[in-house]
Structure 1
Amino acid sequence: MAKMMYRDAVVSTIAEEMERDENVVCLGEDIVGGMGTPGGPEAIGGIWSTSTGLFGKFGADRVIDTPISESAIMGAAAGLALSGKRPIAELMFADFIGVSLDQIWNQIAKFRYMFGGKTKCPAVIRMAYGAGYNAAAQHSQAVHQILTGMPGLKVVLPTTPADVKGLLRTAIRDDDPVIFLEHKALYGVSGEVPDDPDFMIPFGHARLSRAGQDVTIVSTGLLLGFCEAVADKLAAEGIGCDVIDLRTTSPLDEETILDSVEVTGRLVVVDEAPPRCSLGADICALVAEKAFASLKAPPLSVNPPHTPIPFARELESAYLPSIDKIEAAVRKVLGYR
């Protein structure tokens, strides 16, 4: 197995799939140039360096720098997908989906349904999301709860470089539209990645990163590492935690969550989105409805406050769920009588 960074897993997977299938194309702002570079094969490949070298390998017909117009990027991706291509469209920040919601929500997500299954829309929409990078209120949001609520979209949140590789390959080969959310604070994280050129991870299959009998903790993205740290600390005290990395929120692996709660009887969901109408609220409701008899304590969700994300580093740190906050929630459900 090779070891690589999260961002390198993105680039290498796209390159491998472009070599395998000539219908795979990339488009987005600054994916050729970026950061003031002149463009061309020497360019860095966008502000996140997630398309480095693609222009030199595949040329301007398949690696397309677009105008600064999210609605144009999504509209072009929709047309390309309907025409037999497999576009990988990048929105530089997930926060900008509002500009292109009609194309995503009202067009791309609905094509297969509206045309009675006679067409397909194999578009992958990549976005950098999340706080912890000191990028302020308009460039730090977690938007998965909005996109997960849109029927017709598959929503993917890889946490490790291996998951990037396996889930992105699955997304590119999928015949339905996929939202692929990459946490910007994870781009520099390294990990082992399988060498198999056909390594794929099916959607709707969560990953159990820690195993225990006392509490179920559900999360994804940057905060999963916080949950693992809590589980490791509590394990030293004889407290066992199941830590579940969702990987995808649509489809959601309900079975893994419910099976775990039936054993532990306790649930803590850790979610980077604000609390109202969040993924945490949705999973807590799911467990309350389908595993109520197994519960030994009320389910808890650990979220940021219902406010815009602050810019000041100290306030952003206070805003996000922390290891201490997650540990406090776990201890609360353990102590419930």
Structure 2
Amino acid sequence: MHTDLVAALDIGGTKIAGALVDGHGRILLRAQRPTPAQEHGDIVIRAVEAVLGELTASPLWSRVTAVGIGSAGPVDASAGTVSPVNVPGWRDFPLVERVRAVTDGLPVELIGDGVAITAAEHWQGAARGHDNALCMVVSTGVGGGLVLGGKLHPGPTGNSGHIGHISVDLDGDLCPCGSRGCVERIASGPNIARRAIEGGWQPGPEGDASAAAVAAAARAGDPVATASFERAAQALAAGIAATATLVEIDIAVIGGGVGKAGEVLFAPLRAALRDYATLSFVQRLTVTPAQMGTDAGLVGAASAALSRRPTNTVVVG
């Protein structure tokens, strides 16, 4: 039995999580720091180094053979750099080089956070057993990743499957990315809430104007809240159908905060998918909620590190 471990980092705008993970995807040790997202880039990397410091101090560290990083993007795996939208101090930041420096030169695999979550869902979650899958994170933003031919498909820079920035409305709102009518501009949590408020939906007495509050209102029958979720579902369906038509996926997995809305999202999404996924080879496409929860980023980063090491095997089971 292989006893090698990998270190995993999950880097987002809110927290930097680290773990030591075995070949079955079991987390043996955790460390975490808040992301000082608005600080200078050197302060952000110090938080990453503090997480790694906790991991390297463990007696288990001697068994670590590689490091996997799933980071908010854009990332550039070919250059080893990251430029997360929500961490302005990091622009073309040489993250791989800096992580290698504090881990005694171990091999480092960098992928985008959407790709990391895809790796986790394919290894142990809702996409397990599917050779061709799209996994999406629908929360503050909309990200994703692809499994093609049974393998994670991160693409040359680690961003492949970034469905949030497919345009589904040619004359739609300008997206912060510079394009128009992107899936993210319609289906992300803040945009679901914005549209509901613009339509006259009133937050409750506590003033909760989140997408979760809109989902609760939709469940209670509020027509404006329901319409905002239906519009988000339509955008997601168009993006998923376009992806399926291009690369013949047979399952789309949806995670993130908005993915937790349940049938308020999934019922109109399945209905809209029938309107967009019309060709014979995409009609069997299924859509399902993600299963991996908050550890998906870590497990996926570990999976990427394990699968790129020729001496290691990812153990399914």
TM-score bracket, normalised by the shorter chain, equals under 0.3
TM-score (ref. length: structure 1): 0.25
Q: Which has the higher contact order (CA 8 A, sep 6+)?
A: 2
